[in-house]
């Protein structure tokens, strides 16, 4: 069953309930500006908020203090070295206002499959061979990277990974989905959903 048109969301951006987390359904969702977000006790919830929170790489903000952290080179950054470890660490992170995790076991299994097929990427931040930060998301292979979650075991570790990743890739848009103060400080902003969708399907 196809997704409803994204214009049918409610005010919060909820579009549909139910379905599954198959590779086909997930990629159909992302290619149409939709993503899953639900807690352990809920059915699968699919979202397409308006406005959409995004980051244009050319607008990335790096503070003086972060530039110093990057110059110190205390971290090693890798891509796709340990996707499973990154997503599991993200699932364990305590988040304000959330009693549990939305990265359920079924979500982990689904995104590991996406990774194995080349659709999902991870960024790892290492210090003395220990994984201290990272992030993961979905690469749509059209210049858009859909960020899903990040974690840090020490201050600035996830920022180092995020900034380094953006500065060393050629994405035209990073989908941050919904507002966070953390990402706003790095330059993320709201844009109308219709504008966001135009980046997903540039030919159309």
- What's the confidence (pLDDT) of residue 121? 98
> Are residues 170 and 84 both part of a single domain?
yes
The predicted model scores a pTM of 0.93
Measured N-to-C along each axis, helices 64-72 and 157-167 cross at an angle, to the nearest 10 degrees, of 90
> Are residues 38 and 119 both part of a single domain?
no
Is residue 132 a part of any domain in this protein?
A: yes
> Are residues 192 and 134 both part of a single domain?
yes
Sign of the alpha-carbon torsion through 104, 96, 90, 136: positive
- What's the confidence (pLDDT) of residue 128? 93
pLDDT tens digits, residue range 148-188? Answer: 999 999 999 999 999 999 999 999 999 999 999 989 999 99
CATH number, position 20? 3.30.70.3550
> Are residues 130 and 93 both part of a single domain?
yes
> Are residues 33 and 56 both part of a single domain?
no
> Are residues 43 and 105 both part of a single domain?
no
Domain around 32: 6-47
Residue 191: pLDDT over 70: yes
Is residue 183 a part of any domain in this protein?
A: yes
pLDDT tens digits, residue range 39-78? Answer: 888 899 999 999 999 999 999 999 999 999 999 989 999 9
Q: How far is CA 36 from CA 5, 12, 165, 203, in A?
A: 15, 14, 24, 25
pLDDT tens digits, residue range 101-139? Answer: 678 999 999 999 999 999 999 999 999 999 999 999 999
> Are residues 13 and 81 both part of a single domain?
no
CATH number, position 169? 3.40.630.70
Please, which pLDDT band fits residue 192 given cuts at 50, 70 and 90?
very high
> Are residues 130 and 178 both part of a single domain?
yes
> Are residues 87 and 104 both part of a single domain?
yes
Tally of domains within the chain: 2
102-52-26-4 Cα dihedral, nearest 10 degrees: 110
Under 8 Å between Cβ of 51 and 176: no
Is residue 1 a part of any domain in this protein?
A: no
| DSSP of the chain | -PPPPGGG--TT-EEEE-----HHHHHHHHHTT-EE---TTS--EEE--SSEEEE-GGG----HHHHHHHHHT--EEEESS-HHHHHHHHHH---TT-SS-SS-HHHHHHHHHHHHTTSEEEEEEEETTEEEEEEEEEE-SSSEEEEEEEEESSTTHHHHHHHHHHHTS--SEEEEES--HHHHTTT-EEE-HHHHHHHH-TT-
């Amino acid at each position: 069953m196809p997704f409803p048109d994204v214009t049918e969301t409610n005010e919060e951006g909820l579009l549909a309930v139910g379905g599954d987390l198959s590779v086909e359904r997930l990629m159909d969702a992302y290619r149409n500006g939709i993503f899953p977000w639900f807690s352990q006790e809920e059915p699968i919830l699919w979202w397409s908020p308006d406005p959409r929170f995004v980051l244009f790489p050319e607008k990335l903000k790096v503070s003086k203090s972060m530039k110093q952290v990057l110059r110190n080179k205390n971290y090693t950054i890798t891509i796709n070295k340990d996707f499973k470890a990154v997503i599991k660490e993200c699932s364990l992170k305590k988040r304000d206002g959330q009693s549990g995790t939305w990265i359920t076991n079924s979500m982990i299994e689904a995104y590991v499959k996406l990774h194995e097929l080349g659709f999902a990427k991870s960024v790892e931040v290492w210090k003395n061979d220990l994984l201290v930060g990272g992030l993961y998301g979905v690469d749509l292979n059209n210049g858009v990277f859909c960020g899903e979650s990040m974690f840090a075991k020490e201050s600035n570790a996830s920022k180092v990974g995020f900034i380094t990743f953006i500065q060393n890739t050629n994405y035209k848009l990073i989908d941050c989905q919904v507002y966070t103060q953390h990402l706003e400080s790095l330059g993320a902003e709201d844009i109308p959903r219709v504008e966001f969708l135009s980046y997903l399907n540039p030919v159309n």
